[in-house]
Copies of this chain bind each other. A is one copy, B any other.
C-alpha cells in the first residue's frame, strides 16, 4: 500500500485526483498504475485498470489468478467489474468512496452472484489515503477562489 500511496502522490502532482494502485503476485509487484484520466484524456485510465493491464502483460495471461490489487481508494464499478473479468484474487483498499465505491461505499457489486468471487479488505492505511484526496480537493477549491 506504501507504493500505491506514492503512485497516488505522483498522480496528484500531475493534477489528477490522487489514486494509485499496485498489483502483486507471489509477493512481487507485477503492475503499477496511477490515475491518468485528464493527462491521457482517457475515461478508463483509472489506477486500477492500469495496474491490472500491466499485470496481464507481465504475467502473460488474462486470468489474474493469485493477484492482489492494492489501491488507495475504494474501486468504482468499472474497476470492480475489471477485477471480476480478470479473475483477480483479492483487493485491498484504503479510503472508502461513498460517491462511486462499488465494494460497499455507493453499492456492493459483490452481493450479486457473479461467476467469480474475490477477497476484499477495506480501510488499510485509510487515513493517509483519504488525507491525500482531501489535500487535493482543498487545493482545487483554493485555486477556484
Q: Chain A: residues with CB nearer than 8 A to chain B?
A: 37-38, 41-44, 46, 49, 52-53, 56, 60-64, 76-82, 84-87, 99-100, 102, 106-107, 109, 111-115
Name, among A46, A82, A109, A114, the residue most crowded by chain B CB atoms within 10 Å (CB to CB). A82
Contact residue among B46, B63, B106, B107 (Cβ-Cβ distance under 8 Å from A43): B63
- CB-CB nearest 3 A-B residue pairs: A78-B81, A77-B81, A107-B112
Binding site of A, secondary structure by majority: helix, strand, loop or mixed?
Answer: loop
User: Given the complex of chains A and B, what is the CA–CA distance between A80 and B106 in angstroms?
Assistant: 15
Closest-by-CB residue of B relative to A64 is B43
Q: What residues on B are CB-neighbors of A114 within 8 Å? A: 77, 100, 106
Q: What residues on B are CB-neighbors of A99 within 8 Å? A: 115
Contact residue among B37, B60, B111 (Cβ-Cβ distance under 8 Å from A62): B37
Nearest CB in chain B: distance from A52 CB, A: 8
